[in-house]
Structure 1
Amino acid sequence: MRRTPEPSRRVAVTGLGILCALGRDQRQVWGNAQEGRCGIRPLDLFETAGCLSEVGGQVGELPGLSRLSRSERRRTSRTDLLCMTAALEAARQAGLEASAELRSFGVSLGTSTSGMLESEIYCHEATRRGPRSARPSRILRLPSSTPADAVARLLDARGPRLANMTACASSALSVAFAADLIRSGKVRGMITGGGDALCRMTYAGFNALRLVDPRPSRPFDASRQGLSLGEGAGILLLEDWEYAKSRGAKILAEFVEYGSSCDAHHMTGPHPEGRGAAAAMAEALRRSGLPPAAVGHINAHGTGTPLNDATETRAILAVFGEKLIARIPVTANKSLFGHLLGGSGSVEAVMLILSLAHQSLPPTLGWISSDPEIPLDVVATSRSHSFDVGISNSFGFGGTNCALLFRRAA
């Protein structure tokens, strides 16, 4: 992917927001993750009878947003609410909540389901009781651009606005695009990331593909059977480094670089040798000027399916080599709260930044026995770990790949 950012312009992370099955904010999510608690449990958001799996990483009661009017709440999707809640936390941590400075900031969000859950409810009502009984406002939130619109209105962010839908790499690529805009000098700050809500269509679809595990997922374990779906949102507030310093912001981490690629291989399956995934990681390192040895931790895509985990391992080995990878610990956050589809990349980026800040790694739940095909140092229990640079992988259907590099704040 060609671009022309200014190489000397650094990008700071000044705010984080996260909402998933483990909690409603950074404190809850990180605390529960470190304690090895699993957010994957039986769903009650919709009926799951007849599915291969009936569990998922469902968010509990959503926080109320008092600043929304009654009519706005009626037109807001579950995905919108997830993203807005996380965006408020990020803006608050950056010291920019209700600040006029946010007016110059842009928004770049990724999603894959957007308002599909509400559209399903509309279709169900229209089928059962007739179109006149169904509420048309439910389908207004279906376009993939609506979460970005909702966050921009909520925070009065009037800068560039991007909405990206590239399957499970959506929010990771949205972070990359946001950094490019800052480096180009076109904007001094971006609210970026993304989120997805659970819905019947994706839940039934992954069950029909038989890619799910009836039990909570066990990434990289020899007995893994499939993934567990989840929902949530992760938001990063990125700023031009010098601008952030000038306003006295606390810098949480540095966004270093990214790599993106496409397998050009299959609609749902990865290239068997992890060709595209390896290319994304290698490109991130090449652009950053860092050698593979500089990476101290890998936050893996780690879905828990037999094929994807083995393929990602081949890609990691192709980039880092067997000798080096033996001393780089690997975690798979999806074991904690499920696969958040379009929101997974940014949620896991938030988890990586929290790991950098705390110098600690959350566990990969369910990992008990190693697979001979996966010679990785999988973090099975919470572990203290000193490192300065970490990489987060996100790979999606269609072979879309993105790797994000972050560095610990000095």
Structure 2
Amino acid sequence: MEHRVVITGMGAVSPVGNTAPATWDALVAGTSGIAPIANVSTEGLKVTVAAEVKGFDGAERLGEDVRHKDLNVQYALAASDEAMADAGLGEAEDLDRTRIGVYVGSGIGGMKSYTDAVDTMRSRGFRRCPPFMIPMMIGNMAAGEVSIRHKLTGPTLPVVTACATSAHTVGEAFRAIKHGYADAILAGGAEACIVPEAIAGFTNCKALTRNDDPATACRPFDANRDGFVMGEGACILVLEELEHAKARGAHIYCEVVGYGNTADAYHITSPAPDAQGITRAIKEAVAEGGVDATEGLYINAHGTSTPLNDKTETIGFKQALGEDAARSAHISSTKSMTGHMLGATGALEAMVCARAIETGVIPPTIGLAEPDPECDLDYTPGHAASATVRWALSTNLGFGGHNAALAFKAYEG
């Protein structure tokens, strides 16, 4: 028996807001979270702008000593608290917690914890290795800590697929609930690696923009785009089996209806130029969701502001949906405001899809001033738009050739 799956809770910590509502409001307003890097030294670096989380106090937000929790875990815990409360699960005592799971991933994990520990050992010797180095650096710890905090003992699975990580956690959670393995799953991702080592690594593999103007550094689908801007944060969604949600009287944001997961098998960092991988992922999500590509579609594109990604995605939309449907769709890249939140980006963009369906508001792609002729679809430049959104797609591509597509539609009882 297959089950319907809905979204009933949201939590977020992002470069534009430290809660889900604040993040959504900022995105609709076209507010950018990109600024000169403030939290680490940029001495010797060729990149000096990023989309950092601002004003986040982990100890205050979580009500506990957080010295032994990497920042990505702190973000995940704060977002999970908000998502649980939003779904009405935070205070519930009659839940079967063996049927509630946690699918939370991180593309990189506790990089700052690792680099800080290495600095300590190099200056003071190996005997001074911090005892919490391993649990603070490993990529599964956000999922582990969220499950511990909320005493959730159902299926728990971290995913690591680079920039597609939390799109895959949402998709895999959807499948687990759909096929009866859980009643609800907290699904999402967390990332906090705006550190000199990561900036240098992404810079030298030619992924990051070297444009130091925050207003134009990230401009997806623009002819002058030249690389992505690093972001950070977390987003956690509560995915829930429909009848379980209805029995609780939960608020339903939208229904999750389709998921595509493919590989390019082409290159370690570049998407396949024929876009066959992302094309197949979109087709799989659309087919599973049984949705009409010509009817009220919003697409939250991966839209990284890199030369290769944006034109490849444009090809993929046309191939998967058909030229006419792709041209009639409302599309935007919220990375133009959040930067690229790496392992957290897919879940945040899924959240945006859910809110667009619920509100009929399409967030803009800011910074898009001179459209690339090869990116010739409606990318909602500059300002939010209003539309009847019957269904939505979110697409994400990750280093290694990973592709993910998620399909959502308006909930109808």
- TM-score range with shorter-chain normalisation? over 0.9
Unmatched 5+ stretches in structure 1: 1-5
Match of 2:358 in 1: 357
Counterpart of 1:317, as a letter, is K
1:157 to 146, 152, 160: 152
* Contact 1:295 1:391 (C-alpha < 8 Å) held by counterparts: no
- Cα distance per residue 1:231-254 (max 9 Å; x no partner): 011111011101110111111111
Alignment partners' CA distance in 2, 1:44 and 1:21: 12
Counterpart of 2:9, as a letter, is G
- Cα distance per residue 1:173-197 (max 9 Å; x no partner): 1111111111121211111111111
Alignment partners' CA distance in 2, 1:321 and 1:103: 43
Q: CA 1:139–1:47 in structure 2 vs 1: closer, same or farther (change >3 Å)? A: farther
1:21 to 15, 24, 34: 15
Question: 2:91 matched to 1:98?
Answer: yes
* Contact 2:194 2:231 (C-alpha < 8 Å) held by counterparts: no
Match of 2:288 in 1: 287
Alignment partners' CA distance in 1, 2:289 and 2:158: 26
Q: CA 1:295–1:383 in structure 2 vs 1: closer, same or farther (change >3 Å)? A: closer
Alignment partners' CA distance in 2, 1:342 and 1:285: 23
Alignment partners' CA distance in 2, 1:205 and 1:47: 15
> For the aligned residues, what is the CA RMSD?
1.5
Alignment partners' CA distance in 2, 1:408 and 1:116: 38
- Cα distance per residue 1:219-269 (max 9 Å; x no partner): 001111111010011111011101110111111111111111000111111
* Contact 2:260 2:280 (C-alpha < 8 Å) held by counterparts: yes
Q: SS at the partner of 2:108? A: coil
Counterpart of 1:408, as a letter, is A
* Contact 2:260 2:406 (C-alpha < 8 Å) held by counterparts: yes
- Cα distance per residue 1:84-143 (max 9 Å; x no partner): 111111111111113232623100111112111111111112212333445332332211
Question: 2:37 matched to 1:43?
Answer: yes
Match of 1:60 in 2: 54
Match of 1:190 in 2: 185
Alignment partners' CA distance in 2, 1:49 and 1:396: 29
Match of 2:270 in 1: 269
TM-score under structure 1 normalisation?
A: 0.94
- Cα distance per residue 1:281-319 (max 9 Å; x no partner): 011111222232245111000000011111111111111
Counterpart of 1:139, as a letter, is I
Alignment partners' CA distance in 2, 1:10 and 1:298: 22
> More displaced, 296-305 or 47-56?
47-56
2:398 to 396, 399, 407: 396
Moved over 6 A (4+): none
1:167 to 158, 162, 165: 162
Counterpart of 1:384, as a letter, is S
Match of 2:171 in 1: 176
Question: 2:337 matched to 1:336?
Answer: yes
> More displaced, 289-298 or 366-375?
289-298
Counterpart of 2:242, as a letter, is W
Alignment partners' CA distance in 1, 2:49 and 2:101: 36
Q: CA 1:259–1:295 in structure 2 vs 1: closer, same or farther (change >3 Å)? A: farther
How much has 1:42 moved relative to structure 2?
Answer: 1.1
* Contact 2:187 2:237 (C-alpha < 8 Å) held by counterparts: yes
How many residue pairs match? The answer is 402
Question: 2:206 matched to 1:210?
Answer: yes
> More displaced, 373-382 or 193-202?
193-202
Unmatched 5+ stretches in structure 2: none
2:132 to 122, 137, 142: 137
Instruction: List aligned pairs for 1:185-264, cutoff 5 A.
Output: 185-200=180-195, 201-213=197-209, 214=211, 215=213, 216-264=217-265
Report the identity percentage.
34
1:83 to 61, 76, 79: 76
